[in-house]
Chains A and B, each alone.
Chain A
């Protein structure tokens, strides 16, 4: 009896999922027509009658009196949004309820909420890698139909002002193995990080060295810097926990610059290339870096440890997100503030261009939201020119997504205090992109990848056989990807 009640609660869920699935099929991937549920006019509970979404001039006040729920991750980009909610609410008359969750638990909570498919939250913060799961699961609304509708999008929005390499990170055609940048737009970027080299000038000067240009130099100089600032200090901070987050920063930048690939499509199937000679070699090198110049308790290292070691003068360099240089380097933020500089990632192989893997914080719209039009206003406002410029000059949005902001004198004056930051940005931006192959098992395969890396660094296994084993495991895992 109890059970049947429980089952009843599942059935509507399944039915909804099926309906959405069918409607998605019938629209056949043509993104020009919004899916039936997208018409915000049916939204119940809105105090003022909403005009039909077709036609009419763009008006920020169109959904005045409505309410939306927003889920944010604890992050400076989110703080910039919260700081400007009053302006948004005044401009649009939309009331915004938000929740903010620490990053460690954010995605668990988000996934659970999206899985409920009940329209709460309407808008949420997400990384690009997460889109590869959320889009095939039909959790998120594609955005081209909103972007291309002049009645919904402010004419001053100027999507082309957003760096292509960044906007492309939020596009995908849902075919596992196809690169990002094609297909529908699933989210709008808020800010990004490229994974480069951050160094402590004082440390390098202490041994009379320049920022390393090659990976071998990085190992060598890093090793020399062990103990540069007393006990517990060391050369190079890199992340090392048993988590996907270990793979995507410095390691992935180096991995892609070595010419290695994570996947290839062979006979229409995704095949892991982690057992290729290039992949094994760069993994060996990375392990050598950790062993010779990294923190001793590397497997505990998250973003926080790597970043705070740099700020506390324990790590001489970090191969991680460029904004370390600003978060730790801003006046009063840490012990070593004022000593931190940024340089392009050290090259691994002659002839390969300098590039970096990137992480993009974006905002996306819940597919089951009942207030999509109001949600879209929120999304355009907080990725628009005005807010992006404000965030970059007044708040802590240090890697703004818009080209116009990177030309703004106030912003340039602000980042000129951080040596090499602007130059590094210019040097890598054309080659900054997501270096992973999109596929829905991303978190699965990268977590296993991190576990293998830990085994190799801690000497539990040798690189060659462990990477071969890893490729085999990953092939088994991606073979379970269900074709939609």
Chain B
């Protein structure tokens, strides 16, 4: 039952992406399948441009989160210092900041400092979404790794960085992959930030999907085709690292 509930709308979307606008409302399952919608989608380079924008921005955001988030998670797990728990909580709380509260003042600031409608501007604001999740999951991982391993390696004469790269990184990899994937999905699908903080030079596929709601009619078929294509990278990624996804999340979060 749940599978039906979860999958039917997706199936339906796939179906109407092969339907002509003319047949949208008066046929159900029996219709003349057409690739017209996909053809329209790719007839200009526009959609591919949106797609690449989205790839660039999302990958950029997740990578940046990893670059600053992994050390942060490490620090929060390994060191004892003043205000540690408060800091950890502060990071997490960013995820819960209502988007609308952030967006208006940020818009004004972005306009002033020239980040409006730039890929970096979006990558930066997406840190609110991806960074907390990555820090939170990875912190659990680092806490799992015994400091003695590190210590022993240090005694063996490995530099601190080498220890970090050769010993810690492989251990946290599954968690990193899983957290990065989930962050990627959330960032990829973000609508509000992408709409209001960009939209001329940098258009993402989620925002672009709504373009097919034209004023004379809603091109549901083209919209469904656009959404199907834009979900593909997520689906492929998820399938590729399916094992890591469930496993990766379990290690970090359960053990203390």
Contacts and interface: CB of A to CB of B under 8 A. Distances in A.
Nearest to A332: B22
B104 interface: yes
A96 to B, nearest CB: 12
Interface string A295-307: 0000000011001
A371 to B, nearest CB: 16
A304 B218 contact: yes
A308 B24 CA distance: 10
A97 B200 CA distance: 9
Interface stretch (A85-93, A104-112, A155-163, A166-174): A104-112
Given A13-B108, A116-B107, A334-B22, A76 B196 contact: no
A354 B162 CA distance: 84
B31 to A, nearest CB: 12
A116 B109 CA distance: 9
B195 interface: yes
A103 interface: yes
A109 B196 contact: yes
A390 interface: no
B97 to A, nearest CB: 15
Contact of B107 (A100, A112, A396): A112
A59 to B, nearest CB: 29
Interface stretch (B11-19, B64-72, B153-161, B208-216): B208-216
A334 B218 CA distance: 11
Nearest to B220: A308
Greatest chain A CB density within 10 A among B109, B195, B214 is at B214
B213 A104 contact: yes
Contact of B104 (A9, A100, A105, A112): A112
Interface string A311-335: 1111000000001000110001111
A101 interface: yes
A402 B12 CA distance: 45
A72 to B, nearest CB: 11
A100 B214 CA distance: 11
A6 interface: yes
B214 A74 contact: yes
A323 B217 CA distance: 11
Interface in A27-70: 69
A311 B108 CA distance: 43
Given A109-B196, A312-B26, A304 B213 contact: yes
A202 interface: no
B217 A335 contact: no
B29 interface: no
Contact of B199 (A76, A109, A332, A333): A109
The bracket for how many chain B residues form the interface is 20 to 34
B32 interface: no
A12 to B, nearest CB: 8
B217 A304 contact: yes
B82 interface: no
Interface in B197-256: 199-200, 210-211, 213-218
Contacts of B111: 116, 118
Interface in A436-450: none
Contact of B215 (A76, A314, A328, A335): A76
Contacts of B213: 74, 102-104, 304
Contacts of B108: 9-10, 13, 115-116
B199 A99 contact: yes
Interface in B103-122: 104-105, 107-109, 111-112
A250 to B, nearest CB: 18
Interface of chain B: mostly helix, strand, loop or mixed: helix
A334 B215 CA distance: 15
B79 interface: no
B217 A311 contact: yes
Nearest to A102: B210
A75 B195 CA distance: 18
Contacts of A334: 21-22, 217
A102 B109 CA distance: 25
B25 interface: yes
A73 interface: yes
B25 A308 contact: yes
A333 B25 CA distance: 12
Given A9-B108, A9-B112, A112-B107, A76 B214 contact: yes
A360 to B, nearest CB: 14
A332 B215 CA distance: 17
A105 B22 contact: no
Interface string A115-136: 1101000000000000000000
Contacts of A74: 211, 213-215
Contacts of A303: 215
A104 B108 CA distance: 22
Contacts of B200: 69, 97, 99
A313 B23 CA distance: 12
Nearest to A304: B218
A334 B217 CA distance: 10
Contacts of A76: 214-216
A307 B217 contact: yes
Contact of A335 (B26, B196, B210): B26
Interface string B131-172: 000000000000000000000000000000000000000000
A116 B105 CA distance: 10
Contacts of B25: 308, 311-312, 314, 335
Nearest to B213: A102
Interface of B: 21-22, 24-26, 104-105, 107-109, 111-112, 195-196, 199-200, 210-211, 213-218
- For the complex of A and B, 8 pairs with smallest distance between CB atoms: A312-B25, A99-B200, A327-B216, A75-B215, A102-B210, A116-B111, A304-B218, A102-B213
Interface of A: 6, 9-10, 13, 69, 73-76, 97, 99-105, 108-109, 112, 115-116, 118, 303-304, 307-308, 311-314, 323, 327-328, 332-335, 396
16 contacts: A10-B108, A69-B200, A76-B216, A102-B211, A105-B210, A109-B199, A112-B104, A116-B107, A303-B215, A304-B213, A307-B217, A308-B218, A312-B24, A313-B26, A333-B21, A335-B26
Given A109-B195, A327-B216, 13 more contacts: A13-B108, A74-B214, A74-B215, A99-B199, A101-B199, A105-B195, A108-B196, A112-B196, A118-B111, A304-B213, A304-B217, A311-B217, A328-B217
